[in-house]
Structure 1
Amino acid sequence: MKQIKFAVLLVFFLTSFYNYAQQGPPAGNKVKVTGKVLEKISKQPLEYATISITAPNDTKVIAGGITNPKGEFEIAIAPGNYDIKVEFISFKPSEVKGRNIQGDTNLGVVNLSEDAAQLNEVVIRAEKSTVEIKLDKKVYNVGQDMMVKGGTVSDVLDNVPSVSVDTEGNVSLRGSDNIRILIDGRPSNAINVAEALRQLPADAIEKVEVITNPSARYDAEGGSGIINIILKKGKNQGLNGTFIASTGLPETYGLSANLNYKTEKFNYFTTAGYNYRTNEGAGLTNSEYFNPDGTTKNFLDEDRDTKRTREGFNGRAGFEWTVAPNTFWTNAINYQKNTGEDRDLINYNNYDAARNFTGTSYRLNNGDTGSENVEYTSNLIKNFNDKGHKLTADLSIARNTDDSNSLITGTDDFNNTLNNQVQKQVQLQADYVLPLGKGSQFEAGYKGSFGDLNNEYYVLDSEGAALPNLSNTLEYKENINALYTSYGFKVNKFSYLFGLRWEDTNIQVNLLDTNDFNTKKYNNLFPSAFISYEISDQSNFTASYSKRLSRPRGRFMNPAVNYSSNINIFQGNPDLDPSLTDKYDIGFIKRWDKVTFNTSAYFEDTKDVFSFVRSPTGDEVNGIPVILSRPINLGKEQKFGFEFTLNYTPLKWWKLNSNFNLYNVKTTGENSYTDANGELVVQNLDNQANSWFARINSKITLPYKIDWQLTGMYNGEQKTAQGKNFGQFGMNTALSKDVLKDKATIAFNISDVFNSRIMKSYTYLENQTSYGEMQFRKRQFNLSFTYRFNKAKSDRDKNAAPKNENGGEGGGEFPG
């Protein structure tokens, strides 16, 4: 804790010192030159366009600046006559000669046109950095990362700053899995989100946005933040596209295509892909059991070997229609179909108290899985003017099925499990943005989300009869209505954004076989506040607050038992309540020519936090106690952390970016259960732990234009209420080379070079201690070939319509 306080105090000190140093002497009699830079055809703002002000017929720059995400700029300069030049890479510059500036001057809108003749000459300069750091989010540009060529969305997320993905596919942000994952601004409709992300190919993604403290315009769900995955839509004129073929070890194949055809009023886009993937894994659990007097009773060693295969097809097709010069309508259909096989073999070796071998047994789980997801989405944008006054409407209709069955055989038993899930989801959303003069903006919107899930789960004995204590049918209905409003304004160098969101939730959790019906109704207000101070054109200081909510979903709520092991089982808890989080964040960003530095200190205060607890069921298998793991509303969790991200380009051929997160988590609460003797046992689950996460990524251009990328990551050790999780190190590497006159790229990558990403943990219970290791995915090799036609590698993606920056979730960023 002392180290955390010291780090935060150091950041505050450096920030204050830098702020003082930047102020310097009074500026004197200066005037402001303002304006806005847009792309001529699409009217899309051009961020990072450069403005240079020189004396007439002189090349020496007297003053200058860059545009913000809205394409706006503001430069202070002494009165006089000047030449003004506006530039953006691969665009024709715009110049104003001999402008007499005696007072505050607004140059209005500067429209830049693409310079086709320069496109192939600026491949290096036009390439976006892999990670873009903005005030309220980090943007990860997938196309520049070789690590994910031929991979999946899970591979993409595992390379994003602040984000990590464990070997089972679970996504966490700043060390917490209490997050919301969006696709094009809408929640993923997949029943098993982790599995869906592992089936969607990486080349279908344009970029990933990480929003650690969302404003009122976003869904309140996701206590630790939001990850927004933005899919590709072709944007270049005419017919163009990309084909990717990949293969790898363990046995992996993939083939995908992105095609786009654009006319003056229509933009047709489609993505299709096939993939076959094999994941091999292994694990062990070594347990020691104790008698009531504390002496050793016996030992049990479990060795586990897993193999998962998945075969899938995904497709997306749609069009963008320019209904009128200020009205744009996009429609798309997404389809996913996956099948797979799971093999899970556990060997049990029993030992007595003196560690003498007493016998062995096994348990083999052979399973088949299948899922089919269909979704229709529609987005309408109406721009009332070119100043940001607009109305956006979204519709999403989805149906998802997820079926699995397993045949479980063992030394002494035989079971069959069946799990069938059907989910239907409808979402409606409307957002209105109204600028109220220079530097101020009003927003309001509505969102409705209506879902229905039916889950049939059965465990059958050797006679084919359902076991009543393990089988059930879950009916889960969730209706959420939300309204929000926000107002942002700018005063001098300060920008403010205040918002309020109201959400009304109606949830039904019904267990049909046991006639157990539960209804949960609640509504909440979610305020948010953001303040930004512009220290200079290259640096900003921000402070923010928001209230967030986390609703239990998926396997957290599902009472179906994970029956792959008959002594260590998992079961969801349909009686879970939502948790509420108050989030505070203080951040600082500074840009130099070769360096971008972003740091923040954050605090999260959560009530009714979800936590997994392990307790004996009272049953035994061959003298071994059966342990049940399930989620509960623990009580309270407080998390305090410090994070920084650094992008550095020391040389033209070398780029570095790194991310570091240090945090302290304090939880308080207890769990009660009745043991085999009918006695009430109260577990004190109070815990305080420090942990950290670090990632560094290096990209180097070698001779013969070969690109080499290397990424290393480490998750620090963390104490838990019932044990501890050990640290985990991993390293990935990749090489790529452009061929066929830069129309194609060959890439080779290795995931988990040292085969070291293994989850290791200790668990301490009343009458048992266990050491466990689990590796769901071993080291993988992948080779991919990408071919582009009518689409240069350096092409800059451009929307036919002004972009809805929040992917259907609302309007702009800080005003001004």
Structure 2
Amino acid sequence: MKKINSVFTLILFFTTIFAFAQDAANKKIKITGRVIEKVSKQPLEYATITFLLPDNPKPVAGGITNPKGEFDIEIKPGVYDIKIEFISFKIYELKQKNLKNSTSLGLISLEEDANQLNEVVIRTEKTTVEIKLDKKVYNVGNDLMVKGGTVSDVLDNIPSVSVDVEGNVSLRGNENVRVLIDGKPSNAINIAEALRLIPADAIEKVEVITNPSARYDAEGGGGLLNIILKKGKNQGLNGTFNASTGYPETYGLTGNLNYKSKNFNLFTTQGYNDRNSPGNSFTNSKYLNSDNSTRNYVYEDRENDRNSKGYNGNFGIELYLNESTSWTNSFNYRKSKGDNVDNVVQDYYDSGFNYDYSRTRINGEGSDSENVEFATNFMKKFKRDGHKLTIDGSFSSNDDFNDAIITDKVTNSNLVKFDNTLSTQTQNRNLIQMDYVLPFGKGSQFEAGYRGEFSKLLTDYQVENDGIINNNFTNTLDYKEKVNALYTQYGLKIDKFSALFGLRFEDSNIEINQLATNDYNTKKYSNFFPSAFFTYEISDKSSASVSYSRRIQRPRGRMLNPFSNLSSNINIFMGNPDLDPAYSDALDFGYIKRWEKLTFNTSLYVNKTTDVFQFARRESGDFINGTPIVISSPINLATEYRAGFEFTLNYSPYKWWKLNGNFNLYRNETQGDFSYINFNNVEVFQNFDNTTTSWYSRITSKVTLPYKIDWQTNVSYNAPSTSAQGKSLGVFGANLAFSKDVLKDKGTVSFNISDVFNSRKRISENYLAGVVLSNSEMQWRERQFSLSFTYRFNKPKNERERTRPSQNEGEGEYQG
């Protein structure tokens, strides 16, 4: 028995020794550190860290830095040669480093290599779309589709984002989106037109934030789009130039220059474009009697010939006052002029569809817009990493002038009528913001800030009929908005778990004064907007998150102004000055998984919006030759519920082929009623309860063909959807682009076709009981061909722009 016990003890001893040795052999240690740029002390994202065994050139471990320049890599204990690299920087090496325990390599400063910078080097392309848990970052420079295009073209190529035929931007099918430029709201009165004016080559990247935290402006129930303009960050003098032409007749010229030294960075973007964008539409209407029998028919056809000439320029300087303090000032100026000839032909038929007569309305409209903005940013960094104070200011003004002469002629009459509309809009917007970030403890961070936004919009609209002022459509609208906000956030990280809690308070004071009717409205409201974000790192390659935020959508501009254009005399849009803001609660579940060649990102989201805006059609009580005039106007409905599922894929099966796709399926339920008094003094009740399910998908493929020709294809589809007063049919679109590097890769020639099949048309059906049944089709811009040439000097073709993190780009936000 003793022998058995002795043998058992011996076996147990050797088993323990073997297990301990096996555990020691498999033991891994964690190596951390932070990589920064030597001159500016700014973090370098995507720097590469490689571990090699001495006398063996084959890497055994490695990784890349995060947006803060930090890395965290697990290796087995041993002696290593460590190499830290970043494009156009001198390689930093640590020879035969003995690493036995988890160690921090501390702060590593990389110095730019002037010789390497002046060479044109072809390097592996950075992914066009960076997918993160809290946002997607779209890097414009690598996309062939937008060469020679505008911001609208850029947005329409981004996962989760779509731009309809009229230029309206939506995010995951929700048009309640806040569009920011360099972290600030655009001062443009018509944001859709402003996005068509800024050239695509002026944009560095676009951040898509579907569920923003409390540090962001609470505006935009559907999320935020932050457009980051190029400022230039490379050492010395460098830049790019782009010239483009196309059919229908289009010309464009854009240049980006920057000069960077140890003490300052000068940057400028200058762009001019001359664009012709023909479009067309029709609306076939059957007008009804109160018993829904046919009254008559009107078939309306339109042809639009739009031409715009625009200049967009900015100039700025970033001063490095010392190693911890920088001050950036920039001046932006936009000027545009446009001509829009809107030819409307209306054919009238009686109740039996027998031709009666035709009416021709030619609307010749001229527009002139000017925008001036000054922006300043001051940043002070303290000794502790991440501890900083930033102060931002933005002061801008925008003037829009529109003059239209409408010629109205009926075929069976020699009488010609002339209508003249004049619209002058002046908007001033001032923004002041201060943010303070304080890291403390291990993985914790406190943040607080103030934001004040003060704007004023004065709209003077006048209509003349044959030289006589029409008081029914003439008005001056004075709109003033003051929003003061305070916010605070606290973030923490415990092992693989991260949390961020925030609370924002906004005090809104709005005045709406219609001078012509002496109608004065004041809306004052104060609201709290909480937010919470939780993230868990399942592994180095996968993470999951859940987030909540509360948002607001304030009605502005065209939505409030009760007077609009008279291109059509029987279908008129009118704003509603009594609109209230809409409030949204958003819940989002996210998951991201990375493989060697594939990145998969998905989210499940739920939104509830109260007092949501809805466009309602109603009869005005006025008639033109027996045909009722129908008015479309926004109203506040009770509640909207939106739920959806979305996923994005980035896949590179081969070095020569890259694929990314986006799919979004959503269900939208609306609950609410609308009533009005018609011309017979009878209350008309409309039930807007409606449920619709729709989906959207986009696939982009980029292939490198022989002779280094890049071929990019983009295909998208918006599925049909329904509303309480009609439905919209599906919209299919496809774009095609080719590019070839020339002049020893310093230049690139690109050719693209936008809307290859000429199919991007909004097709809808609308029904208003006892009034009208209509079918319409609208194509804002017809198929376009464009050819562009890009030239780079002192700037590698695929070099990633090393952007200086700033308040506007959301650097202060806690990231686990």
TM tier, shorter chain?
Answer: over 0.9
Paired residue for 2:450? 446
Match of 1:51 among 49, 59, 66: 49
Superimposed CA distance per residue, residues 528-563 of structure 1 (whole angstroms, 9 cap, x where no aligned partner): 111111112221111110001111112111122231
Paired residue for 1:749? 752
Paired residue for 1:523? 526
CA positional deviation for 1:38? 2.2
CA positional deviation for 1:514? 1.1
255-264 or 486-495, larger mean C-alpha shift: 255-264
Paired residue for 2:84? 86
Question: Does the CA-based 8 Å contact 1:65-1:537 persist in structure 2?
Answer: no
Provide closer, same or farther for how the CA distance between residues 238 and 63 of structure 1 changes in structure 2, counting only shifts above 3 A: closer
CA positional deviation for 1:83? 4.3
CA positional deviation for 1:70? 1.5
CA positional deviation for 1:43? 2.7
Question: Does the CA-based 8 Å contact 1:394-1:808 persist in structure 2?
Answer: no
2: CA distance, partners of 1:292 / 1:671: 18
- Pairing 1:162-241 to 2, within 5 Å after superposition: 162-241=160-239
Paired residue for 1:682? 685
Unaligned runs of 5+ in 1: 1-24
Match of 2:330 among 302, 315, 332: 332
Match of 1:416 among 395, 411, 420: 420
Paired residue for 2:792? 788
Paired residue for 1:391? 389
The one-letter code sitting in structure 1 at the alignment partner of 2:211 is: N
2: CA distance, partners of 1:204 / 1:62: 41
2: CA distance, partners of 1:701 / 1:118: 25
224-233 or 739-748, larger mean C-alpha shift: 739-748
Paired residue for 1:75? 73
2: CA distance, partners of 1:292 / 1:399: 49
CA positional deviation for 1:286? 0.9
2: CA distance, partners of 1:215 / 1:490: 17
The one-letter code sitting in structure 1 at the alignment partner of 2:141 is: G
The one-letter code sitting in structure 2 at the alignment partner of 1:478 is: E
Paired residue for 1:160? 158
Question: Does the CA-based 8 Å contact 1:344-1:366 persist in structure 2?
Answer: yes
Question: Does the CA-based 8 Å contact 1:431-1:810 persist in structure 2?
Answer: no
Per the alignment, in what secondary structure is the counterpart of residue 195 of structure 2?
helix
Unaligned runs of 5+ in 2: 1-22, 411-416
Match of 1:427 among 431, 435, 441: 431
CA positional deviation for 1:473? 0.5
CA positional deviation for 1:789? 2.2
CA positional deviation for 1:757? 0.3
The one-letter code sitting in structure 1 at the alignment partner of 2:256 is: N
The one-letter code sitting in structure 1 at the alignment partner of 2:590 is: G
2: CA distance, partners of 1:85 / 1:178: 47
Identity %: 60
CA positional deviation for 1:681? 0.8
Paired residue for 2:107? 109
Paired residue for 1:645? 648
Question: Does the CA-based 8 Å contact 2:509-2:525 persist in structure 1?
Answer: yes
Paired residue for 1:703? 706
CA positional deviation for 1:162? 0.7
1: CA distance, partners of 2:460 / 2:124: 53
Match of 1:284 among 282, 298, 303: 282
When the two chains are superposed, the root-mean-square deviation of aligned CA atoms in Å is 2.0
Paired residue for 2:578? 575
2: CA distance, partners of 1:509 / 1:292: 36
Q: Does 1:341 align with 2:320?
A: no
1: CA distance, partners of 2:256 / 2:87: 25
1: CA distance, partners of 2:504 / 2:208: 20
Paired residue for 1:147? 145
TM-score (norm 2): 0.93
Provide closer, same or farther for how the CA distance between residues 465 and 27 of structure 1 changes in structure 2, counting only shifts above 3 A: farther
Paired residue for 1:665? 668
The one-letter code sitting in structure 2 at the alignment partner of 1:600 is: S
CA positional deviation for 1:245? 1.4
Paired residue for 1:4? none
Paired residue for 2:812? 811
Per the alignment, in what secondary structure is the counterpart of residue 755 of structure 1?
coil
Provide closer, same or farther for how the CA distance between residues 117 and 597 of structure 1 changes in structure 2, counting only shifts above 3 A: farther
Question: Does the CA-based 8 Å contact 1:66-1:537 persist in structure 2?
Answer: no
The one-letter code sitting in structure 1 at the alignment partner of 2:447 is: E
1: CA distance, partners of 2:420 / 2:353: 34
Provide closer, same or farther for how the CA distance between residues 486 and 810 of structure 1 changes in structure 2, counting only shifts above 3 A: farther
CA positional deviation for 1:271? 1.5
2: CA distance, partners of 1:214 / 1:262: 33
Provide closer, same or farther for how the CA distance between residues 542 and 27 of structure 1 changes in structure 2, counting only shifts above 3 A: farther
Length, aligned pairs only: 787
Question: Does the CA-based 8 Å contact 1:218-1:810 persist in structure 2?
Answer: no
Provide closer, same or farther for how the CA distance between residues 597 and 89 of structure 1 changes in structure 2, counting only shifts above 3 A: farther
CA positional deviation for 1:747? 1.1
- Pairing 1:449-468 to 2, within 5 Å after superposition: 449-462=453-466, 464-468=467-471
1: CA distance, partners of 2:674 / 2:291: 23
Provide closer, same or farther for how the CA distance between residues 620 and 660 of structure 1 changes in structure 2, counting only shifts above 3 A: same
- Pairing 1:537-556 to 2, within 5 Å after superposition: 537-556=540-559
Question: Does the CA-based 8 Å contact 1:120-1:794 persist in structure 2?
Answer: no
Superimposed CA distance per residue, residues 469-488 of structure 1 (whole angstroms, 9 cap, x where no aligned partner): 21110000001111111011
Provide closer, same or farther for how the CA distance between residues 78 and 257 of structure 1 changes in structure 2, counting only shifts above 3 A: closer
CA positional deviation for 1:28? 7.5
Paired residue for 1:11? none
Question: Does the CA-based 8 Å contact 1:122-1:794 persist in structure 2?
Answer: no
Match of 2:405 among 404, 407, 413: 407
CA positional deviation for 1:362? 1.5
Paired residue for 1:21? none
The one-letter code sitting in structure 2 at the alignment partner of 1:403 is: F
1: CA distance, partners of 2:318 / 2:263: 8
Paired residue for 1:503? 506
Provide closer, same or farther for how the CA distance between residues 428 and 27 of structure 1 changes in structure 2, counting only shifts above 3 A: farther
Paired residue for 1:721? 724
Superimposed CA distance per residue, residues 566-590 of structure 1 (whole angstroms, 9 cap, x where no aligned partner): 1100011111111110011111111
Provide closer, same or farther for how the CA distance between residues 249 and 62 of structure 1 changes in structure 2, counting only shifts above 3 A: closer
Q: Does 1:739 align with 2:742?
A: yes
Question: Does the CA-based 8 Å contact 1:392-1:808 persist in structure 2?
Answer: no
2: CA distance, partners of 1:254 / 1:136: 35
2: CA distance, partners of 1:292 / 1:506: 43
Provide closer, same or farther for how the CA distance between residues 696 and 120 of structure 1 changes in structure 2, counting only shifts above 3 A: farther
Per the alignment, in what secondary structure is the counterpart of residue 561 of structure 1?
coil
CA positional deviation for 1:517? 0.7
The one-letter code sitting in structure 1 at the alignment partner of 2:37 is: E
The one-letter code sitting in structure 1 at the alignment partner of 2:452 is: G
Provide closer, same or farther for how the CA distance between residues 718 and 628 of structure 1 changes in structure 2, counting only shifts above 3 A: same
Superimposed CA distance per residue, residues 263-286 of structure 1 (whole angstroms, 9 cap, x where no aligned partner): 221211111111111111111111
Paired residue for 1:563? 566
Per the alignment, in what secondary structure is the counterpart of residue 808 of structure 2?
coil
1: CA distance, partners of 2:75 / 2:790: 49
2: CA distance, partners of 1:640 / 1:69: 31
Match of 2:610 among 584, 607, 610: 607
TM-score (norm 1): 0.93
Provide closer, same or farther for how the CA distance between residues 675 and 26 of structure 1 changes in structure 2, counting only shifts above 3 A: farther
1: CA distance, partners of 2:291 / 2:810: 59
2: CA distance, partners of 1:229 / 1:26: 50
Superimposed CA distance per residue, residues 50-103 of structure 1 (whole angstroms, 9 cap, x where no aligned partner): 434455545565544333222222234455544444344554443434444444
298-307 or 605-614, larger mean C-alpha shift: 298-307
